[in-house]
Amino acid sequence: MDKLRKNISFGEILIKNFINLDKNEKEMVRRWRNNNSIRKWCYQDHIISSNEQKKFLKNLEEDNNNFYWLIKKKNEYIGVISINRVDLENGNAYLGIYSQPNLKGAGKILMGCIKKIAFDIAQLHTLKLEVIEDNKSALNFYERSGFKKEGKLKDFIFKNGKYKDVVIMGLVKKNDN
């Protein structure tokens, strides 16, 4: 698991583990996550306080199942990726991803980073994800990225006064990942 806690560089990309973020980067990530364009699609959609974030980051230092990274290309911060519920024995994990609010076209870079970490570094066999049914742009993006719909969690999330389904998608490692 130590390899997943280290910062990773390839080409112009820096993949910086959350446990290695400086004070300004931590606050930037918190602001992004609290932005309504991101928050509205998260299971936990409340505003995250600085104290709540501090506890979360502290817990990541000992967590062997959940890893988060800030992605930077050249001098521009691109977004955040994560692999969660990591199960090395069975070779699977769930991904999380969001770009800097108002930044367009970052998805391909972020997805490339998460595939590199999951398949090349962690040596996982499959990545899963969950996405709220009415997040059409995310569903389309994941399909374009090679993910296939595998199932649905019926009435899984309560948002805006009603229950919503969550779509489960997956990607199995191929030789060309």
Per the structure, the count of domains in the chain is: 1
Q: Is residue 8 part of a domain?
A: yes
CB count within 10 Å of CB 123 equals 11
Q: Is residue 88 part of a domain?
A: yes
Using CA atoms, how far apart are residues 97 and 147, in angstroms rounded to an integer?
Answer: 14
Q: Is residue 62 part of a domain?
A: yes
Q: Is residue 177 part of a domain?
A: no
Q: Is residue 83 part of a domain?
A: yes
Digitized pLDDT (tens) for each residue of the chain, 177 residues in all: 688 999 999 889 999 999 999 999 999 999 999 999 999 998 888 999 999 999 999 999 999 999 999 999 998 999 999 999 999 999 999 999 999 998 888 999 999 999 999 999 999 999 999 999 999 999 999 999 999 999 999 999 999 899 999 999 999 998 654
CB neighbour burial string for 97-110, b if at least 16 within 10 angstroms, e if fewer: bbbbeeeeebbebb
**Whole domain around residue 127: which residue ranges?**
2-172
Using CA atoms, how far apart are residues 110 and 71, in angstroms rounded to an integer?
Answer: 7
pTM tops 0.85, yes or no: yes
**pLDDT for res 176:** 52
| CATH value at residue 153 | 3.40.630.30
